[in-house]
Structure 1
Amino acid sequence: MSKIITNDRLVSLDVLRGFVMFWIMSGEHIIHALAKAAPIPIFVWMSSQLHHTDWDGITFYDMIFPVFLFVAGVSMPYSFDKKIKQAGVIAPSELPSNEKKKIYWSMLKRTCILVFLGFVVNGLLRFDGYDQTRFASVLGRIGIAWFFAGLIYLNFDLKKQLIWFAGILIGYYLAMKLIPVPGFGAGDLTAEGSLEGYIDRLFLPGRLHSTVYDPEGIFSTIPAVSTALLGMFLGTFLKTQANIISVNKTIGILVVAAIVLIGLGLLWNYDFPINKHLWTSSFVCFVGGFSILFFTFFYVIIDVLGFHKWAFPLLLIGSNSILIYMAAEGLVNFKHTADFVFGGLIKFAPIIWQPVFITISVTFVQLLLLYFLYKKKWFLKI
């Protein structure tokens, strides 16, 4: 087996991170434009998958955020490995308390930076006032969920980590089903009647994303910790077993684990619907299974078979994923730059295809920026 590792990191992780980030930064707009210019079934279906579901149910677009968090979890055993080896111990739970405190502070610093950057993406620097500022964010949830998953990783062995994983999902399920919400009772899983929405209205400061709840709210961040833990389990498995057992067995175990999680999510869906907005336990299992399948796909092609040149654009995105996410979310007007450079040429294209070429030109400009940063070795690392 040929493993491609850069700075002690599997390249497939950066490629997978780049794959999911591509759809956010501009890929979705390319597909939507294609579906309008050439409404053939495949483009129409892909376009339908690049929208969030209204409430219950799942699309590919709903998976992007949890896959990104899952990848952060996979990276955890690798990022902590050097500190563990320096301390002369085998397992992270064996680290002496003084070493753990150093790691805790670095983790807390990373989390605080991500929470702050989430504020910035949400418009903090516009100074619209406290009531108009949204404090919950995608980056904030990634930082917080990663932090608590890290605490579990550093303080408990694998068996207890699995207990934490199951306990979080079951505990969240029981709370959402059994704890009554004033005016709605227990078990109401609507936006306003759910326990998650009620807690957001009570305790989440500033503006809520959806008035009566926030999809990155307080209570639904708890099961997101389990999403990070799933990634951590996979990362631990790769570090401890992938070089011991055969490639075929490694892949087989990953695929079986994915199928089991998807099946569990589908079964749980009957009583606790798959719902990204509430980050339900069934959602964690279902998307966790697909996260493993996505990773396995890139792992086999890149790390096992060694075909990696084709994935260089995705590597560029994945290597600076947080930076391009923030830029694409409004900090940089890529469309203005693309129109300045390519707008004249695009005018010669048939009108129906111009939106397609415009969106492709935006992606090209984004990749040029990422390539420049990559060659300069300038990475936004947190």
Structure 2
Amino acid sequence: MSNAPATKTQRLVSLDALRGFDMFWIISGEGLFHALAKATKWPAFLWMSAQLHHTDWNGITFYDMIFPLFLFIAGVSMPYSMHRKITDAGCTDAFQLSSAQKKGIYLGMLKRALILVFLGVVVNGLFKFNGYENTRFASVLGRIGLAWFFAGIIYLNFNVKGQVLWFAGLLLGYWAAMMLIPVPGFGAGVLTMAGSLESYVDRLLLPGRLHDGVHDPEGVLSTLPAIGTALLGVFTGQFLKSTNERWTMLKKALVLLAAGIILVALGSLWNITFPINKRLWTSSFVLYVGGFSLLFLAVFYLIIDVAGYRKWAFPFILIGSNSILIYMAAEGMVDFWHTANYLFGGMIQFAAVSWQPVFGALSVIAVQLTLLYILYRNKIFLKI
């Protein structure tokens, strides 16, 4: 195990692997574990299968953590991705850049955000256009793009103290608005799908179709606390990238573990008065899931970057290196099940009927990883 000081900025292999681990559950992992639960009836698989569903409203499951974990990872990446631009300008911190130097960075960030918003609408079925009123404009990719963009603006213009104040202000401000501003026909502090302030703002401002008719889980107002999720990643990235010799890699991992436990506890406490709710992206949800995001990263960082055990994570690295591409493909742009059935269906049919879905899910994973490996070997990556 390495206990050497982290003296230079280097790519976090653990971050790539964690990104792939996170995306794995969306593209095919959930299908595999649902099939295993049905085939085996084993308690562990049944529990995991239950965790791979979103909660109806208040509460939390593992599946509810996948999206915010990805946004957190995008935040962690920011100090690394902007490092060269900052050092080339002769600065040590992003907020030291001049207005002229920031302008080019702003334009690049805005371009990335708008591309993600557009791709999100594509995933929603833009090219199957069925009228403006039936088109959903809010999306997972759109939220990632917007929250990442505004977190980047804060990162570029404020030191760490200022960033923390923004983080606290976003969470406390969102909580105050949701609890104190009355909604016509419902009043203040009504945290139901129809009666919440977030849902009311969606109905007022979001064009086209809302995901749930009266509410959209990637709506306008709840983007504000989502910026906080990205900022948690930014704080983490700055800490891991620091070159202070007293902070060894092992110590950094232990700090991440401690911080994760504290945030989970704080989120649980806030849940008493402001319920953990992914669809509303409540402030307690930001803290609770942010804590688990830190815990996941700490474990991956300890195993991969500190202890040096990397080979086991290669499949996740394949997914993480082309995460947006495989997400869009798995969300309906590529029929992996058809390809897998064409290649492996003849063999799978000889398995017991109850196990055929399991082998079918494994064949989909094999097809996806093969595609990603070919892209990886040829250095073909979808960069946005």
Equivalent runs, 1:1-382 vs 2, <5 Å? 1=2, 8-241=10-243, 243-382=245-384
Looking at structure 1, the residues matched to 203 and 280 of structure 2 have their Cα atoms a distance apart, in angstroms, of: 14
CA spacing shift, 1:243–1:370, aligned 2, 3 Å: farther
Q: Distance in 2 between matches of 1:191 and 1:61?
A: 20
Q: Which amino acid aligns with 2:314?
A: F
Letter in 1 for 2:123: V
Aligned residue pairs total 380
Q: CA deviation at 1:91?
A: 1.2
Shift of 1:242: 6.4
1:200-221, Cα deviation, whole Å (9 max, x unpaired): 0111001100111000000111
Equivalent residue letter for 2:380: W
1:8 to 1:380, Cα distance in 2 relative to 1, 3 A: farther
Is the CA contact 2:5–2:249 (under 8 Å) kept in the aligned structure 1?
A: no
Change (3 A) 1:85 1:21: same
Q: Hey, what's the Cα distance between the residues in 1 that align with 2:361 and 2:260?
A: 34
CA distance in 2, matches of 1:377, 1:82: 21
Q: CA deviation at 1:249?
A: 2.4
How many angstroms does 1:96 deviate by?
Answer: 1.1
**For the residues of structure 2 that align with 1:93 and 1:312, how far apart are their CA atoms?**
36
Structure 2: distance between partners of 1:300 and 1:160: 29
Give, in whole Å, the separation in 1 of the partners of 2:46 and 2:243: 42
Instruction: Summarize deviations over 1:168-209 as a string: whole Å, max 9, x none.
Output: 000000000000000000000000000000000111001100
In the superposition, relative to structure 1, how do residues 243 and 132 fare at CA in structure 2: closer, same or farther (>3 Å)?
Answer: farther
In structure 1, runs of 5+ residues without a counterpart are none
Change in 2 beyond 3 A, CA 1:3/1:316: farther
Aligned to 1:201, what secondary structure does the other structure show? helix
Q: Give secondary structure in 1 for the equivalent of 2:60.
A: coil
Scaled by the length of structure 1, the TM-score of the pair is: 0.98
Among all aligned residue pairs of Structure 1 and Structure 2, give the percentage whose two residues are the same amino acid. 66
RMSD: 1.3
Give 2:188's aligned amino acid. Answer: A
TM-score of the two chains, using structure 2 as the length reference: 0.97
SS of the residue corresponding to residue 206 of structure 1 reads: coil
Letter in 2 for 1:157: N
